[in-house]
Amino acid sequence: MNDEAACVLFDSGHRACGGCAAAMAARLILDAAGKDTIVVSSTGCMEVFSTPYPETAWGVPWIHSLFENNSAVASGVVASLKKQGRKEKVIALGGDGATFDIGMLCLSGAFERGHDFTYICYDNEAYMNTGIQRSGATPYDASTTTSPAGSCSFGNSRPKKDLPMILAAHGAPYVATASIAYPPDFKKKVEKAVNTPGPCYIQVHAPCCTGWGFEGEKTVAIGKLAIETGLWVNYEMENGVVTKVKKVVRKPVDDYLVGQKRFRHLFKPKRNDAEIAKIQALADRNAVKFGIDITLKK
């Protein structure tokens, strides 16, 4: 589908911050999935910036019920369509808070039951809509309003929950991670997910300029650095097996961290070598686990 048509499916007149990756994600999703799609959203930035009554940015049928029930609502939509012999695709769309935390019960139930829908988590790594509080997707050491860095805190004390693996363990036929910094790859994955029968999951990295503290025009650059440092890995899993991984010539994690206010405490007043080493170790572990390193020929 061309860009003009995509504009109609997710209109530009929404209220997201300039440079919002979640808004880019919505557009890319509909561009890939097309107009015969029903979207089920959770409460969060995406819902709030796209549907202030009496306006809506959605050119496809769209429903929002609560923060934590989009998978369950989607289950009902899927059953309803099936009963009526209808063929629309169903996409549940949730922030990381809705997906990793409060909606986990509904999500797990829906995946276990095997409904034919695609769940897409736009992962901006905190509860942005309520003012940048930590979630189960917040990375290690990120400062948020509920995990602030302080004289005895380096920010969020836990690493990110590995949700794709948890959903793969539910028997999901297709699980993928993606990034708005790589639009064609993301769109391809959405297309694949909506055309794979059964519950599929995509987690798309969606840098948030407001919550992470960077200029809106750097969204894509920050997304790229997450991949290039190995802190975010783009991969696909089919029936529980990793089938495709994006390889990179890795850069040190500093390159990613230094440009974001949420990690500023790791560099000021001086570089916190011990903490940054721990984050580097997380990237190194990702590199080994997924085999992302491209070794350059001498």
Partner 1 sequence: MLEITEGSLAVAEAVGKCRPQVIAAYPITPQTHIVEALAEMVANCEIDAEYITVESEFSALSACLGASAAGSRVYSATTSQGLALMFEVCFNCAGMRLPVVMSIVNRAMGAPLSIWNDQQDSVSLRDSGWLQLYAEDNQEATDLHYLAYKVSEDHRILLPSFVCFDGFILSHTYEPVDTISQEQADSYLPPFKPFQRLDAADPISFGLFAAPDYYTEFRYEIDQAAKRALSVIPKAGKEFAELFGRDYSGLVEGYRLEDADCALVAMGSICGTVKDAIDEMRDAGKKVGLLKIRTFRPFPSDEVKKALSGVGRVAVLDKNISLGSKGAMALEVRDALYGSQIPVYDYIIALGGRDVRKKDIARVVSLAEEGKGDLFYGLREEVLQ
Residues that bind ligand SF4 (CB under 6 A): 16-17, 20, 22, 45, 49, 124, 128, 208-211
90 contacts 78 by C-beta, under 8 angstroms: yes
Contact segment (CB under 5 A) with Mg ion among 50-58, 123-131, 260-268, 271-279 equals 123-131
Q: Indicate which of Mg ion, ligand TPP, partner 1, none lies near residue 129 (CB less than 5 to 8 Å, by partner kind).
A: ligand TPP
Residue 49 interacts with ligand TPP (CB under 6 A): yes or no: no
Does 96 bind Mg ion (CB under 5 A)? Our answer is yes
Map residue 293 onto helix, strand or coil.
Answer: strand
Burial class (CB in 10 A: 0-12, 13-18, 19+), 83: exposed
Q: State which of positions 92-111 bind ligand TPP (CB under 6 A).
A: 94-98
Alpha-carbon distance values, 58 to 9, 30, 197, 200, 269 (Å): 6, 10, 25, 22, 46
What SS3 class is residue 279?
A: helix
For 1, 58, 165, the CA distances from 27, given in Å and listed in that order, are 12, 10, 26
Query: Cα–Cα distance between 264 and 139 in angstroms, integer?
Result: 14
In angstroms and rounded to an integer, the radius of gyration of the C-alpha atoms of the chain is 19
**According to CB under 6 A, which one of 43, 50, 118, 260 is a site residue for ligand TPP?**
43
Identity of the residue, 6 or 46, whose beta carbon is nearer to Mg ion in the bound complex:
46
Task: Give yes or no for a contact between 275 and 140, defined as CB atoms under 8 angstroms apart.
Answer: no
Tell me how many residues contact partner 1 (CB under 8 A).
Answer: 44
| Residue 96 site contact among ligand SF4, partner 1, ligand TPP, none (CB < 5 to 8 Å, cut-off depends on kind) | ligand TPP
Measure the CA–CA gap between 72 and 117, rounded to whole angstroms. Answer: 11
48 binds partner 1 (CB under 8 A): yes
| DSSP category for residue 259 | T
Q: How far is the CB of 121 from partner 1 (least distance, A)?
A: 18
| Residue 197 and residue 116 in contact, taking contact as beta carbons nearer than 8 Å | yes
Pick 97 or 199: Cβ nearer Mg ion: 97
Contact characters 107-126, partner 1, x per CB under 8 A? -xxx-xx-------------
Least Å distance between CB 53 and ligand SF4?
18
Q: Which of 46-54, 135-143, 192-200, 257-265 is the region at the interface with partner 1 (rule: CB under 8 A)?
A: 46-54
> Exposed (0-12), middle (13-18) or buried (19+): which is 55, by Cβ within 10 Å?
exposed
- Residue 98 contact, options ligand SF4, partner 1, ligand TPP, none, Cβ 5-8 Å cut-off depending on partner type: ligand TPP
Query: How many C-beta neighbours within 10 Å does residue 151 have?
Result: 4
Which positions touch partner 1 (CB under 8 A)?
35-38, 40, 47-48, 51-54, 56, 58-66, 68-69, 71-77, 79-84, 88, 105-106, 108-110, 112-113
Which positions touch ligand TPP (CB under 6 A)?
22, 42-46, 67-68, 94-98, 124, 127-130, 135
